[in-house]
Structure 1
Amino acid sequence: MAFFKRKRKEENLEKEKIDRNLHLEEKTEDGLVKTTLSFHPDWELTNQEKYVYQYKHEQLPLLKPNQISITGIRLIEYNDGFVVVAFLRNTLPKAVRFEAVNLLLLDENGNAIAKKQFELDGLGELPSMACRPWRFLFSNEDKLTDTIPAEGWQIAFELKQSNPKHQLDLAESWEQQLSPLQKEQLEKLVTSLPALKQGEINFMGIEAKMTDEQNLAVTVLIRNGTDKNIQLEQIPLIVEDAAGDVVSKGGFTLNDFEVKANTSKPWTFIFPKELILKDNPDLSRWKVYPPSN
């Protein structure tokens, strides 16, 4: 009986030794750290899948101590978006838990081609000196470009600026037509306006005048306070004069019209005379806005 107790004790000691070694950091001579592969306890993987992850893990570059890193290893497209399989690595001296993280998908030139915020409560605790695979689901709405390359991409944490400066975004046609003084005046206008709320998009009228053809030309500053580029295809607008009367309303179709993240873009909309609802409108004061419904 003593023999079996001693044998079980030796087996338990050996198991504890192995478990400790799995979580010890492995440092190289230059101080870089090699992580240990850790699977989420709820993941059910075949031996073949584990082998693939182990192989991919062995190919990863070493990290410096005290780093949190993400590395993409596979991209799978489907009708409604795509999935990125990535390794999250932790070389801090303690385990970490993630809450919400903002991730960017970058092309081979480092340009953002998709972005999304992920809630990572389900990831659980990532042990110290560990590497854990995870799947990140992007929808088509998260794309910043029409196509996602199958090769050359990488995934990264988005490092947000505390207060990014709102800038002027000019279409190429405007770049060519405006004088340097006009550009400078627009830039001063954009930077002097009250800050937009996070995620806000609004329309600010700059100029309204009747043309020689009795059309109404309204120049609008489209302000994008979101952290994503926006594409505008159909824009319905209403114009009111100083008396609060509706002068004109109509819808406009735009082709490849984009307003970059955290920028304001000027554009002129022409209401044909057939859509003018009031003769001799008072444009000393006026406003333009999209209908509420």
Structure 2
Amino acid sequence: MGLFDFFKKNDKVKSDSAIDSSNLIEDAETSTETKLVKTKLSLHPNWIVPQEQKYVFSFLANQLAPLRPNQLSLAAIDIDADKNTGNWYVRAFFRSSLPQEIELGEVGLILLDKDNHPIASKMFDFKELGTIPPESCRPWVFTFEKEHIQADELPGEGWKLAFNLNTLKKHTLDLDDSWKSQLSAEQQEYLEKIVSQLPELKQNEVNFTGFQAKFRDDRSLTVSLFIRNGSDRAINFEQLPLEIIDANGKRVAKGTFKFEPPLTVQPRTTKPWSFIFPAELVDADGADLSRWRAVVPQ
């Protein structure tokens, strides 16, 4: 199926999700006008568009409501599902009411049902859309592969395509209240500095990075980890299997930790947490903790 096959004569614009351009573009030139902006149709310069298809795009573009100045918007049209792959193809207009042309990079999008519950999310490279002229709208098909979909079926009425602002958040330290009460301001700043220097996470990556390990007099082992959440959704741990591997590849501890209530790590944050392995779960003989790593067995 070609791109133009997705856009049909009987299509209608269903929803419009707009944000202030400052959320995505730093130091963007903005307009002081207060008058609403009617966006003009802009087709990708590399497209060879049949005249009949141009009429379809023009018809749809004329349905779009005006935007406030300095906004970016996603106007959803419809979703097609591929029965063979399970992928969803979302037809939409990307719109800009900015007074200058723009080109974006990686942008997170999210599909929401009528109750604003997320049903799909993915990072898209907006460079593929090309340069967007001032005050214009460009039709596009956004493909959500099956692994990016959290629903069993297409949404009914009232769904929308939106910018996922969580993906724009800077990764931060998430200190539990119990840690805040025990650490001084200087210690908290030190942890923040460490977190800021850790390697950047991939989209949806969850990572366990050890930063402190110590055997106790009773031969138990205490380890402290950074639990790092690179996704745009909170993660709740009800239990966590954990192994500690020393510098020589030896497993020095193995156990499963249960949390009640669940341990929550917020989107795009790193939460430090300590785990105590009792002596019966520890093999301390010959252990070398000059270097070590935490492993979550599958």
**TM over 0.5, shorter chain:** yes
* Other-structure match for 1:203: 209
* Other-structure match for 2:21: none
Q: Deviations over 1:38-86 (max 9, x none)?
A: 4443456966x954x5554334220245554332232345554433221
Q: Deviations over 1:96-136 (max 9, x none)?
A: 46352403316467777654332344434544443221011
After TM superposition, the structure 1 = structure 2 runs for residues 124-143 of structure 1, keeping only pairs within 5 Å, are 124-142=130-148
Matched AA of 1:87: F
* Other-structure match for 1:248: 252
* Other-structure match for 1:117: 123
| CA distance in structure 2 between the aligned counterparts of 1:132 and 1:190, rounded to whole angstroms | 44
Contact persistence 2:252–2:282 (CA under 8 A)? yes
Contact persistence 2:172–2:195 (CA under 8 A)? no
* Other-structure match for 2:194: 193
Q: Deviations over 1:242-279 (max 9, x none)?
A: xx794614475989876433322344556575653334
Closer/same/farther in 2, CA of residues 218 and 54 from structure 1, 3 Å limit: farther
Closer/same/farther in 2, CA of residues 76 and 168 from structure 1, 3 Å limit: same
* Other-structure match for 2:230: 226
2:271 to 265, 270, 293: 265
Closer/same/farther in 2, CA of residues 153 and 222 from structure 1, 3 Å limit: farther
| Corresponding position: 1:103 with 2:108 | yes
| CA distance in structure 2 between the aligned counterparts of 1:132 and 1:117, rounded to whole angstroms | 19
Closer/same/farther in 2, CA of residues 112 and 218 from structure 1, 3 Å limit: farther
| CA distance in structure 1 between the aligned counterparts of 2:222 and 2:173, rounded to whole angstroms | 21
| CA distance in structure 2 between the aligned counterparts of 1:129 and 1:104, rounded to whole angstroms | 21
Closer/same/farther in 2, CA of residues 226 and 245 from structure 1, 3 Å limit: closer
Q: Radius of gyration: which is bigger?
A: 1
Contact persistence 2:110–2:119 (CA under 8 A)? yes
| CA distance in structure 2 between the aligned counterparts of 1:109 and 1:184, rounded to whole angstroms | 42
| Corresponding position: 1:85 with 2:78 | no
| CA distance in structure 2 between the aligned counterparts of 1:123 and 1:93, rounded to whole angstroms | 18
| CA distance in structure 2 between the aligned counterparts of 1:128 and 1:245, rounded to whole angstroms | 58
Q: Which has the higher contact order (CA 8 A, sep 6+)?
A: 2
* Other-structure match for 1:164: 170
| CA distance in structure 2 between the aligned counterparts of 1:187 and 1:128, rounded to whole angstroms | 45
Closer/same/farther in 2, CA of residues 119 and 282 from structure 1, 3 Å limit: closer
Matched AA of 1:182: Q
The alignment's C-alpha RMSD in Å is: 4.9
What is the TM-score when the length of structure 1 is the normalising length?
0.57
| CA distance in structure 1 between the aligned counterparts of 2:87 and 2:241, rounded to whole angstroms | 26
| CA distance in structure 2 between the aligned counterparts of 1:279 and 1:90, rounded to whole angstroms | 64
Moved more, 225-234 or 70-79: 225-234
| CA distance in structure 2 between the aligned counterparts of 1:142 and 1:134, rounded to whole angstroms | 18
Closer/same/farther in 2, CA of residues 43 and 165 from structure 1, 3 Å limit: same
2:78 to 70, 74, 77: 74
Closer/same/farther in 2, CA of residues 264 and 88 from structure 1, 3 Å limit: closer
Contact persistence 1:209–1:217 (CA under 8 A)? yes
Aligned-pair distance for 1:87? 0.6
Unaligned stretches of 5+ residues in structure 2? 1-33
